[in-house]
C-alpha cells in the first residue's frame, strides 16, 4: 500500500512547509516538491495540514476501578482514538497483587490481541512493589519495551515514599521514567471526614475534598525524592497553578521533573460540579477540575515548555447508571474519570491554536513529537522520512460541534458536550493505512480492527 499526499502544509515542531509526502508500507519514504512516485492512493491535501498522528500516553482501557470497569475496550477505545487523530495509545496496566510486571503486561496484551485498531504500548503501574518487582525494572526497560512506571500517591493502592525512592533509584540505572499521580492522601482523607460530618456530599465537594494544595504538596515531595536520587519523574494529569509552580521550581533547580496536563484542565473549570440533577458527577475525576486561573496558568505552562505533554486520562464511565447511581448519595463513590481520547486533537487545535494560546508547531510537540521523545517511541511523532506513516490530514477550517452521539467512545456522555470547534481531521493514516475519515458530518472509522501493533519503547535518553 502506498499513498502520495499532495500539496499539504507539513507541520513539525521545527516549522512548516508546503510539500508532498510519499508513504509506502509502514513508512514515510520521501518528502519533496512535485513528487511523482506512483501510489495506490493520491490525496489532494491543498489547504490541509499534514500532522504527525497524535500520541495519547495516558489511557485506562478496560481498567477495573472503584467497583466497575472503564468502559472502552481495545476495540472501541482505539476506534475512537483513530477517529480523533490519535494513532498511538500508551495505556496503563495496573499490576494486580502477586503478579510480576511481565505477567501484568501479558494479561493486558491479551486484551488488546485482535482488537487494537491503532498501535499501542503499555506503562506498568507498580501496585505491589515487592523487591523482585522493583528488580524487574531492568527487564521492563531493556526487554519488555515498557520503560515507564506509574505510581499513585493516593487511593488504597498508593505507594509510600520509601517505595518511590527505590523505584527512582532503579529507573535511574536503566533509563526508566517514573510517572506519578501526585495528590496528598492525608489531606484528602481529612477533608473527606470534615465534609462527611457537615453532610456535604454532592459532586461539588469532590473538588473541595481535593484542594490544589494536595497536588502542590505531593509534587513538591516527589520532586525532593528526585533531587535525592538524581533520577527523574513525570507528573501525570497536572491540574493546578500551584502544582505547576512546584514543577517549575524543581526544573529551575535542575531537578528533572516533567509534566503532562489534559484538555479538561485547560478548558473546563470547577463550576461544572454545580450543574443541576447530579450532572456534576460527569466531571468527577482526580485531580478535580480547578479554577479559570489554573486553566490560564496551564496554557501558559504549555507555551513556555514548563509542561511537555498533553494527554487525556481517558477513563470512561457512563453517567446513567454509573456516575449518577454509584455516587448518588456521596461524591466519594462516583467512579473517578472521564472520556476524552477522541477530543484531544480537536480541542488543542481549536482552544489552543485557533485562540492564539499555542503555535501549531508547539501543538505538534505536546501531542506528538515531545510525547514520542518522552516515552521512547522512536518511530513515531514526526512527519519525516523513516518515521512511521502515522499522518493526520487536518482541515483547519472545518467546524464541528462536539456531541456524544457523533463520537465513538463507548460511553453515554462527553464532558465537552456542545463545544464548537474549528478544525477537524479530514483523514487519519496509521502506518500508511487510512483508518478514519470525515464524512461531511462526523468522523467515521474505515480501518481494520486488530491491525494495531504492540510497540516496544526505548529507555529514556533525556528530554
Ligand atoms: O480520575 C481519574 N483520573 N481516573 C483515572 C485513574 C487515574 O487516577 O488516573
Ligand atoms: Zn491518576
Ligand atoms: Zn489516569
Query: Cα–Cα distance between 15 and 311 in angstroms, integer?
Result: 22
Mutate which of 58, 59, 60 for ligand 1 pocket (most atoms within 8 A of beta carbon): 60
Rounded to an integer, the average pLDDT of 230-254 is 98
Q: In the structure, what pLDDT confidence band is assigned to residue 461 with cuts at 50, 70 and 90?
A: confident
Positive or negative: CA dihedral 35, 41, 47, 51: negative
Q: Is residue 2 a contact partner of residue 432, using CB atoms and an 8 Å limit?
A: yes
Please give the helix or strand (H or E) that residue 208 lies within, else none: helix 204-209
171/225 same-domain check: yes
Ligand 1 within 6 A of CB of 315: yes
Question: For residue 441, is it within any domain?
Answer: yes
Instruction: Tell me if 87 CB under 6 Å of ligand 1.
Output: no
8 Å CB contact between 455 and 122: no
Residues 95 and 42 in one domain: no
Q: Residue 155: which region, alpha, beta or left (left: phi > 0; alpha: psi -120 to 50)?
A: left
Do 75 and 47 sit in the same domain of this protein? Answer: no
Give pLDDT, residue 462: 78
The pLDDT tens digits of the residues spanning 201-233 come to: 999 999 999 999 999 999 999 999 999 999 999
Q: Is the peptide bond before 171 cis (omega within 30 degrees of 0)?
A: no
Q: What is the DSSP letter of 158?
A: P
Residue closest via CA to ligand 1's atom 8 equals 286
Residue nearest to atom 6 of ligand 1 (CA): 337
Average pLDDT over every residue of 366-378: 98
Same domain? 286 vs 223: yes
Tell me if 412 is assigned to some domain: no
Q: Is 206 close to ligand 1, i.e. is its CB under 6 Å away? A: no
C-alpha cell at 416: 465537552
Q: Are residues 31 and 105 in the same domain?
A: no
CATH number at residue 242: 3.20.20.140
- Model pLDDT for residues 102-161, shown as the tens digit of each residue: 999 999 999 999 999 999 999 999 999 999 999 999 999 999 999 999 999 999 999 999
Cis peptide, bond prior to residue 322, ω within 30 of zero: no
Q: Does residue 99 fall inside a structural domain?
A: yes
- Point out the ligand nearest to the CA of residue 235: 2
With a 6 A CB cut-off, is 415 part of the ligand 1 pocket?
A: no
Q: What is the mean pLDDT of residues 40-65?
A: 98
Give the total number of structural domains in the chain: 2
198 in the same domain as 64: yes
pLDDT tier for residue 463 given thresholds of 50, 70 and 90 = confident
Provide the percentage of residues in the chain whose pLDDT is more than 90: 97
Domain that includes residue 336, residue range:
53-374
119 Cβ closer than 6 Å to some ligand 1 atom: no
pLDDT band (50, 70, 90) for residue 57: very high
Share of the chain above pLDDT 70, in %: 100
Specify the higher pLDDT residue, 328 or 246. Answer: 246
> What's the mean per-residue pLDDT of the chain?
97
What is the model's pLDDT at position 124?
A: 98
CA of 238 to the centre of ligand 2 (A): 9
pLDDT at 310: 99
Express each pLDDT in 307-355 by its tens digit. Answer: 999 999 999 999 999 998 876 889 999 999 999 999 999 999 999 999 9
pLDDT of residue 325: 82
Categorize the per-residue pLDDT at 286 as very low, low, confident or very high, splitting at 50, 70 and 90: very high
Residue 409 lies in a domain: no
Is the CB–ligand 1 distance for residue 238 below 6 Å? no
313 within ligand 1 shell (Cβ under 6 A): yes
User: For ligand 1, is residue 181 a contact (CB within 6 Å)?
Assistant: yes
Q: How many helices (H) and strands (E) does the chain have?
A: 15, 19
Give yes or no for residue 386 having a pLDDT over 80: yes
Q: In this structure, what are the phi and psi dihedrals at residue 91, rounded to the nearest 5 degrees?
A: -100, 150
Best mutation site among 285, 314, 327 for ligand 1 pocket (most ligand atoms within 8 Å of CB): 285
pLDDT tens per residue, range 405-446: 999 999 999 999 999 999 999 999 999 999 999 999 999 999
CA-nearest residue for atom 2, ligand 1, is 337
> Across residues 4-14, what is the average pLDDT?
98
CB neighbour list of residue 244: distance below 8 Å, 6 or more residues apart: 238, 259, 294, 297, 298, 301, 306, 307
Amino acid at each position: 500500500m502506498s499513498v502520495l499526499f499532495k500539496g499539504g502544509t507539513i507541520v513539525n515542531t521545527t516549522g512548516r512547509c508546503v510539500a508532498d509526502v510519499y508513504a509506502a508500507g509502514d513508512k514515510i519514504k520521501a518528502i519533496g516538491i512535485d513528487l511523482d512516485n506512483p501510489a495506490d492512493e493520491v490525496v489532494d491535501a491543498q489547504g490541509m495540514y499534514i500532522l504527525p498522528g497524535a500520541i495519547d500516553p495516558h489511557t485506562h482501557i478496560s481498567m477495573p476501578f472503584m467497583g466497575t470497569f472503564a468502559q472502552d475496550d481495545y476495540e472501541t477505545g482505539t476506534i475512537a482514538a483513530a477517529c480523533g487523530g490519535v494513532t498511538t495509545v500508551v495505556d496503563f496496566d495496573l499490576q494486580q497483587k502477586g503478579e510480576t510486571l511481565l505477567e501484568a503486561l501479558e494479561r493486558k496484551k491479551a486484551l488488546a490481541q485482535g482488537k487494537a485498531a491503532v498501535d499501542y504500548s503499555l506503562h506498568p503501574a507498580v501496585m505491589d512493589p515487592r523487591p523482585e518487582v522493583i528488580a524487574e525494572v531492568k527487564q521492563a526497560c531493556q526487554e519488555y519495551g515498557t520503560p515507564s512506571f506509574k505510581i499513585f500517591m493516593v487511593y488504597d493502592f498508593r505507594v509510600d515514599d520509601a517505595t518511590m525512592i527505590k523505584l527512582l533509584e532503579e529507573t535511574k540505572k536503566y533509563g526508566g521514567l517514573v510517572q506519578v499521580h501526585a495528590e496528598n492522601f492525608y489531606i484528602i482523607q481529612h477533608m473527606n471526614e470534615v465534609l462527611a460530618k457537615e453532610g456535604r456530599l454532592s459532586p461539588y465537594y469532590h473538588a473541595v475534598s481535593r484542594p490544589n494544595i494536595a497536588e502542590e504538596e505531593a509534587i513538591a515531595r516527589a520532586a525532593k525524592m528526585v533531587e535525592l536520587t538524581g533520577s527523574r519523574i513525570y507528573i501525570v494529569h497536572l491540574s493546578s497553578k500551584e502544582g505547576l509552580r512546584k514543577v517549575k521550581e524543581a526544573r529551575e533547580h535542575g531537578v528533572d521533573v516533567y509534566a503532562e496536563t489534559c484538555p479538561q484542565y485547560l478548558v473546563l473549570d470547577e463550576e461544572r460540579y454545580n450543574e443541576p440533577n447530579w450532572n456534576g458527577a460527569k466531571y468527577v475525576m482526580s485531580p478535580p477540575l480547578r479554577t479559570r486561573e489554573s486553566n490560564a496558568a496551564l496554557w501558559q505552562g504549555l507555551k513556555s515548555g514548563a509542561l511537555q505533554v498533553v494527554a487525556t486520562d481517558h477513563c470512561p464511565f457512563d453517567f446513567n447508571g454509573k456516575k449518577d447511581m454509584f455516587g448518588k448519595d456521596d461524591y466519594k463513590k462516583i467512579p473517578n474519570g472521564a472520556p476524552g481520547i477522541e477530543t484531544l486533537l480537536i480541542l488543542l487545535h481549536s482552544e489552543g491554536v485557533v485562540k492564539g494560546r499555542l503555535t501549531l508547531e508547539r501543538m505538534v510537540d505536546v501531542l506528538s513529537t515531545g510525547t514520542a521523545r518522552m516515552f521512547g517511541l522512536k518511530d513515531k511523532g514526526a512527519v519525516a522520512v523513516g518515521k512511521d506513516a502515522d499522518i493526520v490530514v487536518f482541515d483547519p477550517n472545518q467546524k464541528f460541534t462536539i456531541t456524544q452521539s457523533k463520537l465513538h467512545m463507548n460511553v453515554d456522555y462527553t464532558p465537552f458536550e456542545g463545544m464548537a470547534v474549528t478544525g477537524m481531521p479530514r483523514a487519519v493514516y496509521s502506518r500508511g493505512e487510512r483508518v478514519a475519515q470525515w464524512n461531511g458530518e462526523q468522523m467515521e472509522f474505515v480501518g481494520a480492527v486488530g491491525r494495531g501493533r504492540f510497540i516496544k519503547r526505548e529507555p529514556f535518553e533525556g528530554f
